[in-house]
Amino acid sequence: MERRRQIRAIAVHTVRVSTVAALLLLIPSPRRDRPRSDDGASPPSIERIQPFLPTASVVEGTKDANGFWTVKDAEGVSLARVARTLPEAADVIGYRGPTEAMILLDRDYQLIGVDLIDSADTEEHVTAVENDDAFFEQFRNWTWTGPEPGTNVDAVSGATLTSLALAKGVLRRIGGDLPSLVFPDAVTLEELQEWFPDASARRVEGDRVIALDRAGQELGSVIRTGPLSDSIIGYQGPTELLIQVEPAGAAEDSEPPPMTVADIKIRSSFDNEPYVRYCKTEYGFWALFEGRTLAGLADMDLEAERVEGVSGATMTSMAIAETLVASAGRIQVRQQQREQAVQAGGSTWSNWRHRVIDALEMRITAADIGCVLVLCLIPLFRMRGWFRHHRIRRLWLVAVIAVIGIWSGNLISMALVAGWSGGGIAWRLAPALAAIAIVAFVAPVGWKSNPYCNHLCPHGALQQLLRPHHKSKRYWKPPARMMAVLKFLPGTTLVIGYLTLLWSPTTDLSSWEPFHAYLYRIASWTALTLAGVTLLFSAFVPMGYCRLGCPTGRLLDHLRRSAGSDRVQVADGVAIGLLVAAVLLR
């Protein structure tokens, strides 16, 4: 009988946990209600640009090869380039979701300014970032390749996740080699289909533009010479070429095989049409370069090999030949720089930019270390039984309030759970908060304990310190009818919150709980007032908010293994009903 009950308890608890996990995974991303920001199809408004460039008048509707729009004045003179960080940085999650920024570069590719366009994070976080001029001022020292070596990205106090997500998005959006100002247009899918008719998508990888079929398999690749060499002049100007390349045999020693020139086409030219046409139809001229590896093309001596060009279009054809050699040489130099960067452990500008991104992705602060230390001490305190000692327990509560609450503000809330469930966990930007969240949700499932509510929640710690003794004059026991109503409040709040997110993913649930007050640098008076009221209530009703008001605590308690885990509860039926609603809406 006991064995059967244990099996039933495991089965019921597994279904219960699986249902909650499915509910969390089905929370839609806050980006769903922001299609304009996410697709990056339209440039930032001229009104957003003019504070940085007062003479700006119009933004051209066509992007260049790097996805930047050109900003011009009233006379049509190019002033700068502007871009949005989405969709490239759509997976950079802050407190609740991605943050989109505008990046403005001058003609020398120096950052003129960065501005926050939109964010899925809470209003307090966003407002704090928008009002911090010093945070945005630090971007003015950046170039196209990122900040100078040794630069630290300073986050906005109280809005760390939002501000760092914005900074990381900027780094994601810039970088690499400067694009060609003469030939700014990216290779189109239609151009790839001239070589690869089955191409349905394209991917840029280093110097190559790779054609992909519907299954995402590589069909082949091309290289355009515009970003590599656009200063070699023929009769009237430079010529841009497309070079189809393919692997030359099998790779050796786990190295990628060298790339061979399979075909060459003139893409655009500033030379006169007759000369360009002569070059296009002179097949013997192109045969001089086809079949060579890129390394061999880079080493090609045009004079020694007596390359004389095309009769009647000598200057144009020789400029094309020199462009091919110079472009291949540039590719070889880049390859050597990448290899040296790996060997040197990051001495180049490009590698430094990636090191900055890595530093942002795994940003460990003193507050993070303090929070992790608190987490690590829980098993020791439980094993030693120190949580049962009154004085040690009070010291622990004070430490939790100071470290997790006031110092770091790493509290679990409905807003955080909803944001991270719909958009992904920001464990790189907030490793300690991610660790606390993992402990909060994993421990109740596997063990009969709720360490977050019992030992880690600063708001719960304050309530424990304020808890009135049952003989105290301020001790108050609410009437039975009131208790009967209040005990349904946390679960009801959870249900309403979840349904609200299904219909409106951008809804900010942080105002539904008092935990935002611990981000006191940016907390609104509403959050501070709610925190004060709940603590005042708990000063008369022991653990009043934890027991009768906290939806996050109710969720964690629902996941906790207990003696009644073998029994199907009303909450299980509600959860399954929510799951059906979520599936239907998706």
Tens-digit pLDDT profile for residues 284-312: 899 999 999 999 999 999 988 888 888 88
- What pLDDT does residue 273 have? 83
- What pLDDT does residue 104 have? 93
CA gap 193, 348 in Å, rounded: 36
CA gap 135, 116 in Å, rounded: 11
- What pLDDT does residue 339 have? 65
pLDDT digits (tens, 9 = 90+) for 388-423: 999 999 999 999 999 999 999 999 999 889 888 866
Between the CA of residue 223 and those of 191, 287, 322, 553, what are the distances in Å? Answer: 12, 18, 16, 57
The DSSP string of 193-218 is HHH-TT--EEEEETTEEEEE-TTS-E
- What pLDDT does residue 421 have? 84
- What pLDDT does residue 346 have? 43
pLDDT digits (tens, 9 = 90+) for 491-512: 999 999 999 999 888 888 888 9
- What pLDDT does residue 348 have? 45
Range 174-179 average pLDDT: 61
Residue 350 has pLDDT above 70, yes or no: no
Residue 152 has pLDDT above 50, yes or no: yes
Range 419-448 average pLDDT: 85
- What pLDDT does residue 57 have? 92
Residue 33 has pLDDT above 80, yes or no: no
Range 303-329 average pLDDT: 89
Helices (H), 389-513: 390-400, 414-423, 431-446, 451, 458-466, 480-486, 489-503
Highest mean predicted confidence (pLDDT) among 65-69, 238-242, 566-570: 238-242
Range 182-201 average pLDDT: 88
Helix (H, G, I), strand (E, B) or coil at 267: strand
DSSP state of 264: E
Question: Nearest to residue 67, comparing CAs of 49, 89, 94?
Answer: 89
> 462: Cβ–Cβ under 8 A, 6 or more apart, which residues?
397, 401, 405, 535, 538
- 3-state DSSP helix/strand/coil % of the chain, to nearest 5: 50, 15, 35
- Higher-pLDDT residue of 65, 122: 122
Kindly state the helix (H) or strand (E) to which residue 404 belongs, with its residue range. Answer: none
Least confident span in 163-172, 420-429, 566-575:
420-429
Least confident span in 87-101, 104-118, 513-527:
87-101
CA gap 404, 507 in Å, rounded: 26
Measured in residues, the chain has a length of 586
Confidence of residue 338 (pLDDT cuts 50, 70, 90): low
pLDDT digits (tens, 9 = 90+) for 532-557: 999 999 999 999 999 999 999 999 99
> 471: Cβ–Cβ under 8 A, 6 or more apart, which residues?
none
Structure tokens that stand for 100 in this block: 């989109």
DSSP state of 146: B
Residue 37 has pLDDT above 70, yes or no: no
Residue 253 has pLDDT above 60, yes or no: no
Q: How far is CA 296 from the centre of its chain?
A: 40
- In the predicted model, what is the mean pLDDT of the chain? 85
Range 91-117 average pLDDT: 86
Least confident span in 2-6, 71-75, 359-363, 577-581:
359-363
Note the maximum CA span of the chain.
108
Question: Nearest to residue 452, comparing CAs of 418, 413, 489?
Answer: 413
CA gap 580, 586 in Å, rounded: 10
Is residue 328 within 8 A of residue 245, CB to CB? The reply is no
Is residue 274 within 8 A of residue 311, CB to CB? The reply is no
Residue 387 has pLDDT above 50, yes or no: yes
CA gap 440, 453 in Å, rounded: 8
Confidence of residue 255 (pLDDT cuts 50, 70, 90): low
Residue 488 has pLDDT above 70, yes or no: yes
- Higher-pLDDT residue of 256, 277: 277
